[in-house]
Structures are given as structure tokens and as C-alpha cells.
Chains A and B, each alone.
Chain A
């Protein structure tokens, strides 16, 4: 019995790994396309319109950060089929790395990864290797208006990956083993097990991950600040986020009243998300579905 058990979870693990991968790819593709379309907008307009466009882009940026960061957490379900030391090792490294990453990103570092200057960066080099680009042609990921935001989305997703993975792992430990055993006895195939048990059982986790990551994305500041300097929020307004706008208005323009107004607008959005999250937790708790 144990051997058949592990084989089924192995198959299941495979599905679990592909699904988030596909979701992630679609999300990134969408960001890329939307980025291309939007990047062309602000150029022909005056400074005030630019500012407004910046705000529009800022809000969209928030949405994009959420989209790219969340599905990645799904990969964690894989951990169930892997051996424990491997899981712990991988987790510790990914989470540790992700937690410490705030320090890792600065503009020269980004250059080193190929995000601002061609030819020397790792990303451009790997793309060269795969043959996507001509050797040495390179892409200025952070200096190009259409890819700057995408680059930051990737960094944000990478930073959130570890913690969201821990959340999924913790959530997965709470799924009753009997459900899987019952499904196996009933002859469910791995995809059905994943679709009908794992996903619904992790619904609360998914919800929590989506909401908390959204709240973080809405308050995004440090990645953008560090990666877009010396032109904060640049190139143009391509990577302007709400909190970056707030900082610039309050501490560069010294318009602290105006910045406070921005903060309150932002507060409404975040508060909405937070209360939804609190309510759902209370419902889960009172319905007894989760301890």
C-alpha cells in the first residue's frame, strides 16, 4: 500500500508543478502585452496628464504585481511528493534567499543580471544561449519602458515566492490524509485528486495568499525605488507605484498634505482587502471548517 500511495502522489506532484507554471506563464505574458500597450500612452501628453497617467499606471502596477506573484506559491504542493530533507533544504534556501533579497537588488546588481545593460548580464546571456536573442544584442530590461515594470514584477514575484510557498506548505499539512486515501480507493486519477481535493482544500490558503500579496503589492515601494534610481519610478512613469508617488510628494516636493490624501485613498483599498480577509477567517473559524 505505501508504495502505490507514493506513486500516485508522484503523478499528482507533476500536475501540480505544471499548473502553476502555466498560470505563471500566462500571467507574465499578459503583463508583457499590457506593458507594451500602455508604455506608448504617456509620451504625447503634457506633464499633468503624465502625472495622471502615472497614477493609472501605478494602480495597474499594483494589479500586475499580484498576478505575477501569486500562482508561484502553488508549486509548493510539490513538496508533498518529495522527500523531507530535500523539501526542507529547498524551502530553507528559497525562503531564506527570498527573505533576504531586499538587499540583493540594486541598479548595478540588476545590470549584472542583465536588466539595464546589454551583454554582461546573466539573463541576457542565458537568452543568448537559448538562442532567443542575438549574442551581444541584449535587452535593457530596466531602461526600456515596456519591460521595466515586468522586470520589477519578476523580482517581486521572486521575493514573495518563498513565503507564499511556506503558506501553501503549512496549508497542505492541514489537509486530512483520509481524503487522499478515500480518493485512491475510489480510483480517482491524479488530476482528479488534485482538482477535487487539493485545490478545494487549499481554498482558504489561496485566498489568504492572494489577499496578503495584494496588500503588499499595493504598498510596493522598495523594489521600485532601488531598481529605478536615479529616476525614481522611471523610465518615464513606467514603474510609478502609489507609495512611490506618496514618498516623492511628501519628502521631495514637501507636499505632505497632498501625500496624506494619497495615503488615505490607498488606505481605502487596503482596508477593503484586509476586512475581506478578516471576515473570511472569522467565517472559516466559526464554520468549523478549519481549526
Chain B
């Protein structure tokens, strides 16, 4: 007799299942989330540690509020003070002093502010000049450990409170601030717009071409009797077995002969013929009852009328599947464009290629690379969302069932 699991235990198991499911999903989606988040960050934010998922920008105040001229000034805070400071000048010469008797105490002041006393003191076997500097309003003796450059910070509420500190030791005051201009920058300044146009053009041509040739070929193989039909179909289908790696070099030589190196035609023409698509359409057309066609033939309809007016509307699901696969393939292709459009034709580059070179060229601008990546992956995701049910159904039928 079976014992059914009910009550709290079943609920717990169910909850755990969900937790696990969400955890796995989170791991898979995480890089994607990072991509979107980083694409809206500014150049400083991408190097902040710890990294965050929410784009932050420095808070600023207008320069006039602290009595200077120029661009808005960023706000900072220091661990030892509750006050907010304005970075008025981020490139001043700073002298670092260490208090005699308490060498851990670092005093940073403007380089002109230390007064040499003429005495010397021995620190780690070196003779150092003794200075008098001000520390919290009291003059103390110190020696100068180094000269550096840093920032002059002014207390936002108390202009007489001025600190000289290293900028990277100060904590920037940040607020939520997405930098959406990353997208226009990557599309216009980095010229990814041209690559995007090329990719769209190539993808549309490939998908359109594949649909056209597959419908015509599939219909012919399904319904028109001609000599050697089945053996030709077998050979055609057999080409699915030939992996692309074997074709690369012959195809490259062919493109070289035709003169299509560096030419978008080389990205389109070889791929408008697809054995897989033809097979898909043939399988679909074979499944359409012959009676439908015979009725049309009796009404004196021509072959092309039957194909375009009757068969093609029926075949919409198959065409959608074919279009989805063709789209994803053409949009994502990387290897073949790398082979063909590699010798100095930036105008012929497609998106995948342009992004990989953008990554190499301006490798410090992670935010721009991510912005380009987000632009590039939005269309496939949208297409997948819309065509999802065809995609899943056909994945099942493409080989498994």
C-alpha cells in the first residue's frame, strides 16, 4: 500500500525545490544581469570594489557653492568624520608628514605649509629634517616622509575646514546614476551602428533566402515527381552530415575566386541554401493531405498558386521555426565573418566581429563592451521569446522524437 506524502513535509520539499530551482536559474542568469547592469555604469563605477549591480555615480555640487569656478565638484567623506567634503582640486602637491613620537600618525598638508626647524632626527638610519606642522590646530614636530599629489577637500558646511588627502583614500558619495549614453557612444563613436546595420542586413537576407529556397525545394521534393528525386534528396540531406569546419577552406577559396573577400555577399549567398530547412519544409508538405491539392488542381489552379496560396499559409509554424533557427544562426555567426571580413574592411564588419575587436581595442571600457553586447543580444532574446513555443516544439522534433 502506498503511503502518500502530505502536509508539512510535502510543503517543505516543495519549497526546497523552488529554492533550488531559483538558485540554479540565478546562477545561469547572473552573467546576463551583470551585463545589463554594467552597460549602464560609468567609467569609474566599473572599477569599484566591491562591484555592485546598481549603477552609481558620484554626487556633485555646483562649483559656486564652494566659491570656485568650473565644473560641478564631486562629494567625498572620510572614515574619521561625519562631514561631507567637496573635492575642489584633485591635483595639488601634498607633503606627507609623520609626527615625531607617533610615527603611525600621518599628517597631510599642502606642500607649502610645513616649516623647517633646522633640526634633524634619525629615522631608520636616515637623517631627516624636522618640520613644524599644524595638527588639529596645534603645532607639532614631524618629519616629511614623502611628497605626493592628492586632492584639496573642503567641508561642504564649513568652508574653513580644509583637508589634504589622497583621493583614492576618500570615500566617494554616490547616488543611483545610470549612464545611458554608453549605448549611443558605442553605436556612434565606436561605430557599432554600421556593424549593427550590416548584421541586420545579412540576417534578413539569410532568413529570407532560406525561407524562399526551403519552400521551393521542400515542395519540389515533397510533391513534384521527377527522375531521381529520392536519390537527389538523399544526397542533399546527406550534406547535413558534413560539418562546417570541412567547408571553411574550400568555401574561402571559392570566395577568393569569385572576388567576394571582405564582401557581405560572402556572408549571405553561401547560407541561403539549407538542407535542414528544405528537409523541414519537405516533411511538412508531405504531411499535408493530397486531397487539398487535388481539389485546387481540378479548379485549374497552377502549381505556383497552390504553393503560395494553399501550402505556404498552412506551413506557417514550420516557417516560423525555420526563421527562428536561421535568425539565431545568422545573427550569432562569428567564425565565417572572421575568416571573410578580416583584412581591413571595417565597413563590412558584422556585430559579432565588431564587438570582439571593440573588446580588444578599448579594453578599459568594459561598460562600452557590455553596452554593445546588450545591443547585440536583445534581438535574439526577443525573437526567442516570441518564437519560444515553436522553438521548444521543434527542438523536440528535430532529433528526439
A residues lining the B interface (CB < 8 Å): 3-4, 6-8, 10-11, 13-14, 17-18, 21, 75, 78, 81-82, 86, 88, 90-104, 106-109, 111-113, 119-122, 125, 136, 158, 161-163, 166-167, 169-171, 173-174, 184-187, 204-205, 208, 212, 215, 219, 221-222, 225-226, 229-230, 242-243, 246-247, 250-251, 256, 259-260, 263-264, 266-267, 270-271, 274-275, 277-278, 281, 290-291
Whether B334 contacts A112 by the Cβ 8 Å rule is no
Query: A250–B369 Cα gap in the complex (Å)?
Result: 29
- B70 adjacent to chain A (CB < 8 Å): no
The verdict on A99 contacting B332 (CB below 8 Å), with A119-B49, A125-B49, A170-B396 known, is yes
Partner of A187, one of B1, B339, B393: B1
Query: A169–B369 Cα gap in the complex (Å)?
Result: 33
Query: A246–B243 Cα gap in the complex (Å)?
Result: 14
Residues of B within 8 A of A184 (CB): 2
Whether A104 contacts B31 by the Cβ 8 Å rule is yes
List 7 additional A-B contacts (Cβ < 8 Å) besides A103-B377, A256-B252, A259-B249. Answer: A10-B14, A17-B24, A100-B378, A103-B351, A111-B366, A167-B395, A274-B243
Query: A10–B393 Cα gap in the complex (Å)?
Result: 25
The verdict on A247 contacting B5 (CB below 8 Å), with A17-B24, A169-B392, A264-B246 known, is no
Residues of B within 8 A of A8 (CB): 4-5
Interface centre among B34, B49, B242, B342 (most CB of A within 10 A): B49
- B224 adjacent to chain A (CB < 8 Å): no
Partner of A96, one of B35, B356, B373, B380: B380
B residues lining the A interface (CB < 8 Å): 1-6, 10, 13-14, 16-18, 20-21, 24-25, 28-32, 34-35, 38, 46-47, 49-51, 241-246, 248-250, 252-253, 328, 332, 334-335, 338-339, 342, 351-352, 355-356, 358-360, 363-366, 369-370, 372-373, 376-378, 380-381, 384-385, 388, 391-393, 395-396, 399-401
Partner of B243, one of A21, A86, A122, A267: A267
Whether A281 contacts B399 by the Cβ 8 Å rule is yes
Residues of A within 8 A of B18 (CB): 82
Partner of B245, one of A111, A263, A277, A278: A263
Partner of B359, one of A97, A106, A208, A222: A106
Question: Whose C-beta in chain A lies nearest to the C-beta of B240?
Answer: A274
Question: Whose C-beta in chain B lies nearest to the C-beta of A95?
Answer: B384
Residues of B within 8 A of A101 (CB): 31-32, 377
24 contacts between A and B (CB under 8 A): A6-B14, A7-B6, A82-B17, A92-B384, A92-B388, A96-B380, A97-B32, A97-B381, A103-B352, A104-B35, A104-B370, A106-B359, A122-B30, A125-B50, A158-B28, A170-B400, A173-B396, A185-B2, A205-B400, A222-B334, A222-B335, A229-B360, A267-B242, A281-B399
Residues of A within 8 A of B47 (CB): 120
Whether A251 contacts B365 by the Cβ 8 Å rule is no
Whether B360 contacts A99 by the Cβ 8 Å rule is no
Residues of A within 8 A of B34 (CB): 112-113, 122
B23 to chain A, nearest CB (A): 9
B250 to chain A, nearest CB (A): 8
Whether A167 contacts B373 by the Cβ 8 Å rule is no
Query: A158–B246 Cα gap in the complex (Å)?
Result: 26
Query: A281–B398 Cα gap in the complex (Å)?
Result: 10
A75 to chain B, nearest CB (A): 5
Whether A109 contacts B359 by the Cβ 8 Å rule is yes
Residues of B within 8 A of A158 (CB): 28, 31
Whether A78 contacts B369 by the Cβ 8 Å rule is no
Query: A258–B66 Cα gap in the complex (Å)?
Result: 70
Interface of B is mostly: helix
Query: A94–B248 Cα gap in the complex (Å)?
Result: 31
Question: Whose C-beta in chain B lies nearest to the C-beta of A280?
Answer: B399
Partner of B10, one of A10, A103, A174, A186: A10
Residues of A within 8 A of B6 (CB): 3-4, 7
Query: A78–B396 Cα gap in the complex (Å)?
Result: 17
A219 to chain B, nearest CB (A): 6
Query: A121–B30 Cα gap in the complex (Å)?
Result: 13
The 10 closest A-B pairs by CB, nearest first: A106-B359, A100-B377, A170-B396, A187-B2, A7-B10, A96-B381, A97-B32, A103-B376, A4-B4, A10-B14
Residues of A within 8 A of B332 (CB): 99-100, 102-103
The verdict on A108 contacting B243 (CB below 8 Å), with A103-B373, A171-B396 known, is no
Residues of B within 8 A of A173 (CB): 396
Query: A121–B50 Cα gap in the complex (Å)?
Result: 9
Residues of A within 8 A of B28 (CB): 94, 97-98, 158, 161-162
Residues of A within 8 A of B342 (CB): 251
Residues of B within 8 A of A18 (CB): 20
Whether A125 contacts B51 by the Cβ 8 Å rule is yes
Residues of A within 8 A of B46 (CB): 112, 120
Whether A109 contacts B366 by the Cβ 8 Å rule is yes
A254 to chain B, nearest CB (A): 11
The verdict on A163 contacting B21 (CB below 8 Å), with A14-B13, A95-B384, A275-B241 known, is no
Whether B391 contacts A271 by the Cβ 8 Å rule is no
Whether A102 contacts B13 by the Cβ 8 Å rule is no
Question: Whose C-beta in chain B lies nearest to the C-beta of A107?
Answer: B359
Whether B395 contacts A108 by the Cβ 8 Å rule is no
Residues of B within 8 A of A108 (CB): 359, 363-366, 369
The verdict on A215 contacting B243 (CB below 8 Å), with A8-B5, A106-B369, A108-B359 known, is yes
Residues of B within 8 A of A275 (CB): 241
Query: A266–B376 Cα gap in the complex (Å)?
Result: 31
Residues of A within 8 A of B1 (CB): 187
Whether A112 contacts B392 by the Cβ 8 Å rule is no
Partner of A122, one of B51, B363, B380, B396: B51
Residues of A within 8 A of B401 (CB): 170-171, 174, 290-291
Residues of B within 8 A of A291 (CB): 401
The verdict on A109 contacting B373 (CB below 8 Å), with A167-B400, A251-B339 known, is yes
Whether A267 contacts B246 by the Cβ 8 Å rule is yes
Interface centre among B356, B370, B376 (most CB of A within 10 A): B356
Question: Whose C-beta in chain B lies nearest to the C-beta of A4?
Answer: B4
Whether B400 contacts A204 by the Cβ 8 Å rule is yes
